């Protein structure tokens, strides 16, 4: 993948070990309950500003953007790929500020659905297959938002989101696209009011399936393209039932956006007990960030960053699998 010449390896190391406060993204992956290490295998989104004000977990709201696929810098490989076999359970550890039990995971207001897709690596225009979803499962009472996957499930369980590798899945390299959606401003459409709109938090994890399975993924959907602004699960007034004055019918059901779950996926995903965290639990300094496709690189003097160079970043997805570049020795 082309990024910004000689700085690409350094940026990879920084992005795989860095985080900052704002919204949510995946900080780690547990394999059958065993932590694989903070940021290992995860295509961590790029920072959107200089320290200390920038952050790398903004939502994606533009449904036509390539960032809907795996977030900003989603085409940039992580140096580590997690090896699994069919039937294994992967647990994604979502967090906001810190990878600790005290972290709030995601804001209390960010109710919405959660989905998981699976695609061969690299993906194509229609390769993402939905293997798990959860949305609104209890509408609750009037004047209350109900119980949602993001808040009453994942947030309430410390940020843990579980999936199982489909039974009999053919060996090969895959991307897992995990996604949380915040609907707290989705009563407006982003294409009509870019200040508001549904907030999507996609994050991709690299896995290698081993074994002698023969099951191939069916045709899926593409990102961007799988969701539309007019979809009832994207343009939805989550707080309709909390209003004391309602001028239109209030919908207390919810249709999760995207395709139906693939029949080859496990019908139920049982939570597993996870062990201790291995790796960073707090933010580290970063020295590269992207604002409107302009990459700024910087050096540090003490705790202050000084910009040294700029370049243009354009997502460039390969059409064939490329072995990730090993991380530099520390």
pLDDT digits (tens, 9 = 90+) for 46-59: 998 888 788 888 89
- Rounded distance between C-alpha atoms, residue 109 and residue 12, angstroms: 32
Residue ranges making up the domain that contains 225: 5-286
- Rounded distance between C-alpha atoms, residue 80 and residue 69, angstroms: 19
Q: Is residue 122 part of a domain?
A: yes
Q: How confident is the model at residue 43 (pLDDT cuts 50, 70, 90)?
A: very high
Q: Is residue 320 part of a domain?
A: no
Report whether 42 contacts 78 (CB < 8 A). Answer: yes
Q: Is residue 298 part of a domain?
A: no
Q: Is residue 305 part of a domain?
A: no
Q: Is residue 171 part of a domain?
A: yes
What is the mean predicted confidence (pLDDT) over 183-197? 96
Instruction: Read off the pTM.
Output: 0.90
Q: Three-state DSSP class for 13?
A: helix
pLDDT of residue 17: 36
- Rounded distance between C-alpha atoms, residue 218 and residue 131, angstroms: 11
Quickly list DSSP for 75-131.
TSPPS--EEE-TT-EEEEEEESS-SSTTS--S-TT----EEEEEEESS--TT-BEEE
298's tokens: 């910087």
Report whether 165 contacts 87 (CB < 8 A). Answer: yes
Q: Is residue 118 part of a domain?
A: yes
Number of domains in the chain: 1
Report whether 217 contacts 128 (CB < 8 A). Answer: no
Q: Is residue 314 part of a domain?
A: no
pLDDT of residue 36: 98
| Sequence-ordered list of residues with C-beta below 8 angstroms from that of 238, at least 6 positions apart, any chain | 111, 112, 145, 183, 184, 186, 187
CATH value at residue 234: 2.70.50.70
Note the residue count of the chain: 330
pLDDT in tens, 106-129: 999 999 999 999 999 999 999 999
Q: Is residue 297 part of a domain?
A: no
- Rounded distance between C-alpha atoms, residue 47 and residue 182, angstroms: 20
């Amino acid at each position: 993948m082309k990024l910004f010449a000689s700085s690409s390896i350094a940026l990879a190391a920084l992005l795989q070990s860095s985080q900052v406060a704002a919204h949510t993204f995946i900080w780690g992956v547990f394999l059958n309950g065993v932590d694989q290490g903070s940021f290992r295998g995860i295509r961590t989104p790029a920072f959107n500003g200089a320290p200390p004000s920038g952050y790398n977990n903004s939502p994606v709201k533009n449904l036509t953007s390539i960032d809907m696929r795996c977030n900003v810098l989603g085409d940039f490989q992580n140096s580590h790929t997690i090896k699994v076999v069919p039937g294994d359970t992967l647990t994604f550890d979502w967090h906001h500020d810190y990878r600790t039990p005290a972290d709030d995971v995601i804001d209390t207001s960010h109710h919405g659905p959660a989905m998981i897709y699976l695609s061969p690596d690299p993906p194509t225009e229609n390769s993402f297959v939905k293997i798990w979803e959860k949305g609104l499962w209890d509408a609750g009472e009037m004047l209350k938002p109900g119980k949602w996957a993001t808040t009453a499930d994942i947030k309430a369980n410390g940020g843990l989101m579980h999936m199982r590798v489909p039974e009999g899945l053919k060996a090969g390299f895959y991307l897992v696209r995990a996604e949380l959606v915040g609907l707290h401003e989705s009563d407006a459409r982003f294409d009509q009011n870019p200040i508001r709109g549904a907030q999507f938090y996609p994050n991709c994890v690299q896995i290698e399936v081993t074994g002698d399975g023969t099951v191939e993924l069916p045709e899926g959907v593409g990102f961007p393209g799988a969701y539309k602004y007019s979809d009832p699960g994207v343009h939805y007034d989550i707080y309709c039932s909390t209003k004391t004055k309602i001028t239109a019918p209030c919908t207390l059901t919810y249709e999760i956006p995207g395709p139906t779950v693939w029949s080859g996926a496990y019908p139920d995903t049982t939570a597993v007990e996870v062990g201790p965290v291995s790796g960073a639990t707090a933010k580290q300094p970063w020295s590269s960030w992207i604002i409107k496709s302009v990459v700024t690189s910087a050096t540090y003097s003490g705790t202050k960053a000084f910009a040294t160079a700029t370049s243009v970043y354009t997502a460039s997805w390969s059409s064939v699998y490329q072995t990730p570049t090993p991380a530099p020795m520390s």
